[in-house]
């Protein structure tokens, strides 16, 4: 999700002496065409979010609720247990409901290399919250970094490198905030933290990716303000973070115009001509671009791909062998009346990516962030919760759903309620999920799901 157009409105209201509350009244009519695109952007209407759409939703903590007979407490499920749920009201802080329908957004995880404690860092409208989740059935809220920006918007994004969290937000002015996560050791009571370093940005930003192998951060979706645009024109704003306490500007990629999300890797996939190059796979609203960013002063476009029934090219992730890029379009379910669609891009030739197939889910829910671990894709689908897909037949352009937990009871319609993102990379198998209006979920795929996959492999299925 992005708030580019909202920020322009907020800046205008600021000049008129009005605050975010005044801007909220016109939030639903904000639209702005990007200078690099020929079409109007899809608007993402969140101002109408307020009360939870289901009266069945719990308003207190849940703990240790196994998936039995198709449900885990109030949640439909198959193969995924609910370890715990923490309602947003427990860590909301200052009431943010009046701020454009405030709630949670993205999240990421960190494992302390000294103690093996596991932590969740979760964005919310008025800050960034921390939880110790070493015991996932009893997560401990440790406090937050407040969002001190004048314009407070729901969108926050976090990634981790070398025991530091790097946080961006569409709230303005926010910049990229760097926080030493080792400061969480020994914390037992909630407290207010301040960041260690703030990397200034001319304007706010939507998202951040980090290549942990090279030590570079890629800030994307730098929004164009009324007076001063992001100097990377909303594309890849590259930052050297090898010294996390001294982030240094490294270069820009502006060839796509606005980049909404990206994954940047050292490439070791099937295309041997590009081995060991640093390559970014950009989701850029109406296309996917593949860009060699090895030389930060001279990024090179390798390939581009567009596709039918495109509405908003949102986010994707590589399979672990880097042969395929799995892509979500955030607007197709609403605009083309289709079930949740995951596009399967064959990127075995980086210079000529092709659409290999499309996977359609069982509901109309809008897909959001997805991540790959091993052979499985962990996909957040707003109203339909977490969907786990198997990539065993990805070469044939096929995916198959093997488990799910639907964390928002009620109809799985194509609306912007529910699960925003997930983090599946904890060694313990705990998966963290952010529910926009709901709070923090910790879940785990049941062992029999993996056993069944192994059995299928053994049978050649």
CATH hierarchy code of domain 4-50+65-459: 2.130.10.10
pLDDT at 24: 29
The pLDDT of 386-411, averaged and rounded, is 96
User: What distance in Å separates the CA atoms of residue 327 and residue 345, rounded to the nearest whole number?
Assistant: 7
Tens digit of each residue's pLDDT (9 = 90 or more) over 305-322? 999 999 999 999 999 999
- Assign 445 to helix, strand or coil: strand
Tens digit of each residue's pLDDT (9 = 90 or more) over 316-343? 999 999 999 999 999 999 999 999 999 9
The pLDDT of 90-100, averaged and rounded, is 61
pLDDT at 308: 97
pLDDT at 456: 87
User: What distance in Å separates the CA atoms of residue 130 and residue 198, rounded to the nearest whole number?
Assistant: 18
Whether residue 261 is predicted with pLDDT greater than 70 in this model: the reply is yes
Whether residue 47 is predicted with pLDDT greater than 50 in this model: the reply is no
Flag the least confident range among 106-115, 167-176, 429-438, 439-448: 167-176
Tens digit of each residue's pLDDT (9 = 90 or more) over 11-27? 333 333 333 333 322 22
The pLDDT of 249-253, averaged and rounded, is 95
The pLDDT of 97-116, averaged and rounded, is 82
Which of 277, 307, 300, 301 lies closest to 214, judged by CA?
277
Indicate the average pLDDT of the chain.
Answer: 87
Whether residue 96 is predicted with pLDDT greater than 50 in this model: the reply is no
Whether residue 75 is predicted with pLDDT greater than 60 in this model: the reply is yes
User: What distance in Å separates the CA atoms of residue 169 and residue 154, rounded to the nearest whole number?
Assistant: 8
The pLDDT of 347-366, averaged and rounded, is 98
pLDDT at 341: 98
CB under 8 A, 24+ apart: contacts of 69-74: 72/405, 74/409
Tens digit of each residue's pLDDT (9 = 90 or more) over 146-192? 999 888 888 999 999 999 999 999 998 899 999 999 999 999 999 99
pLDDT at 461: 64
Which comes out higher in pLDDT, residue 8 or 298?
298
Cβ 399 vs Cβ 344: under 8 Å: yes
pLDDT at 95: 47
Residues 6+ apart with CB under 8 A from 175: 168, 198, 199, 200, 201
Tens digit of each residue's pLDDT (9 = 90 or more) over 185-233? 999 999 999 999 999 988 889 999 999 999 999 999 987 554 455 679 8
Which of 445, 447, 438, 456 lies closest to 61, judged by CA?
438
pLDDT at 239: 97
Domain ranges within the chain, ordered by starting residue: 4-50+65-459
pLDDT at 460: 79
Which helix (H) or strand (E) segment is 12 a member of? Answer: helix 4-15
| % pLDDT > 90, the chain | 77
Flag the least confident range among 145-149, 180-184, 376-380, 426-430: 145-149
């Amino acid at each position: 999700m992005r708030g580019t157009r909202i920020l322009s409105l907020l800046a205008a209201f600021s000049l008129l002496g009005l605050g975010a509350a005044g801007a909220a009244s016109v939030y639903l009519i904000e639209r702005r065409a990007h200078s690099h695109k020929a079409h109007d952007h899809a608007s993402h209407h969140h101002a109408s979010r307020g009360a939870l759409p289901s009266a069945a939703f719990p308003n207190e903590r849940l703990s240790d609720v196994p998936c039995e007979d198709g449900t885990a407490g109030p949640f439909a499920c198959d193969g995924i247990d609910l370890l715990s749920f923490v309602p947003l009201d427990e860590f909301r802080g200052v009431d943010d409901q009046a701020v454009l329908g405030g709630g949670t957004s993205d999240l990421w995880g960190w494992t302390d290399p000294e103690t093996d404690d596991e932590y969740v860092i979760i964005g919310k409208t008025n800050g960034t919250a921390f939880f110790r989740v070493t015991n996932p059935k009893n997560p401990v809220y440790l406090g937050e970094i407040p969002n001190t920006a004048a314009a407070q918007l729901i969108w926050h994004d976090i990634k981790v490198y070398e025991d530091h969290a790097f946080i961006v937000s569409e709230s303005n002015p926010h910049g990229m905030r760097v926080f030493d996560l080792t400061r969480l050791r020994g914390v037992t009571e909630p407290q207010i933290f301040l960041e260690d370093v703030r990397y200034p940005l001319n304007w706010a930003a939507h998202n951040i990716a980090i290549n942990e192998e090279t030590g570079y951060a890629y800030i994307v979706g730098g929004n164009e303000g009324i007076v001063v645009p992001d100097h990377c024109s909303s594309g890849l704003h590259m930052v050297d973070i090898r010294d996390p306490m001294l982030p240094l500007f490294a270069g820009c990629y502006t060839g796509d115009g606005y980049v909404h999300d990206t994954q940047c890797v050292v490439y070791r996939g099937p295309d041997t001509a590009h081995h060991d190059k640093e390559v970014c796979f950009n989701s850029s609203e109406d296309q996917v671009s593949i860009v060699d960013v090895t030389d930060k002063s001279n990024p090179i476009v390798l390939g581009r791909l567009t596709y039918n029934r495109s509405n908003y090219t949102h986010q994707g992730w590589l399979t672990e062998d880097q042969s395929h890029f799995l892509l979500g379009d955030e607007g197709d379910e609403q605009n083309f009346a289709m079930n949740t669609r995951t596009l399967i891009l064959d990127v075995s030739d980086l210079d000529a990516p092709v659409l290999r197939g499309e996977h359609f889910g069982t509901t109309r829910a809008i897909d959001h962030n997805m991540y790959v671990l091993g052979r499985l894709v962990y996909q957040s689908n707003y109203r339909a919760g977490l969907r786990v897909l198997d990539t065993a037949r990805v070469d044939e352009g096929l995916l198959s759903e093997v488990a799910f937990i639907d964390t928002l009871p009620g109809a799985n319609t194509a609306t912007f309620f529910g699960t925003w993102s997930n983090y599946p990379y904890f060694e313990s198998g705990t998966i963290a999920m952010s529910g926009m209006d709901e709070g923090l979920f910790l879940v785990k795929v049941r062992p029999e799901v993996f056993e069944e996959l192994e059995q299928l492999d053994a049978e050649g299925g």
